[in-house]
Amino acid sequence: MQLKEIKIIYHKELDEMYPKEEVDSFFYILIEHYLSLERFVLALQPDLSITKDEEQPLFEALAQLKLNRPVQYVIRKTTFMDLDFEVDENVLIPRPETEELVRWILEEVQRSRVEIQGRKEENENSALKILDIGTGSGCIAISLAKNLPEAKVYALEISNRALEIAQRNAIKNETIIEFIQADILELSELQDMFDIIVSNPPYVREMEKDEMEKNVLENEPDLALFVSDENPLVFYKSITQFAKGYLNSNGFLFLEVNQYLAKETRALLENHKFSEIELRKDMFDNDRMLKGSFTK
């Protein structure tokens, strides 16, 4: 069958479910993954045909897309900060907004007293120490470790299955991460102190489910997404309290936040005596990222 005919079938089957541009994106992601073909191949070879064996995974993937399964889970990988990550239903699919959070941390490291890129330290204890709380796929921790090779990066996660994926992602991306299995809501003690603590915790209230895409609701892990309407800042309260005890003086706390609760989350940091508090919008103009410094 000609590849362009398969593309037409994709649109026929999926255009009522997704925008046409997104269907195009699915198709190009899948031909690259399964056939190693670049997205512009049809412009160069409009009559390109593929074999029955080559067709099969494309039609199997189409069947999964029709069931609202995210394309990242279909191919079991995604890209974040120009790195490849394994993902499945045990971890959230990393979002571009979270890339903005990582880039903000890198900017802060570059300009602040904790800048270490290119610096050699004989004393291991003097290296920058970073903790990622609720690491999921490991995308934040691994991206920071990749861009800050002199840093010592830790990643905390409650889910065994998520930790297994994060560990494989660390190996795949040639980074060394110290993984910790723990629940931040119950964690009372760690051995180390940190210069930076970062978290993208669950923050979507049950009342906000109606705003979410069906493929997210039906596939991505509830444990990493939702909090109760009655106590939506439960994770931020624990993380902020923990950060007060485990940040080095003048260390930074970075958070991804619910756009509807950004002011309340900022007030939480203010009430815990954080300073240099800054709230930033994401690429979609939503209040999404928060930074605070803590001085002992």
- The residue written with tokens 């997205």 in the block is 39
**pLDDT tens digit sequence for 197-223:** 999 999 999 999 999 988 999 999 999
> How far is the C-alpha of 237 from the C-alpha of 255, rounded, in Å?
12
SS3 content of the chain, % helix, strand, coil (to 5): 45, 20, 35
Rounded to two decimals, what is the model's pTM? 0.93
Instruction: Please enumerate in sequence order all residues whose Cβ is within 8 A of that of 45, keeping only pairs 6 or more positions apart, or say none.
Output: none
- The residue written with tokens 């950004």 in the block is 262
**pLDDT tens digit sequence for 58-71:** 999 999 999 999 99
Which CATH superfamily groups domain 80-294? Vaccinia Virus protein VP39 (3.40.50.150)
**pLDDT tens digit sequence for 231-248:** 999 999 999 999 999 999
Element of type H or E holding 157: strand 152-157
Element of type H or E holding 263: helix 262-271
Q: Where are the domains of the chain?
A: 3-67, 80-294
3-state SS assignment for residue 255? strand
Q: Residue 121 pLDDT more than 90?
A: no
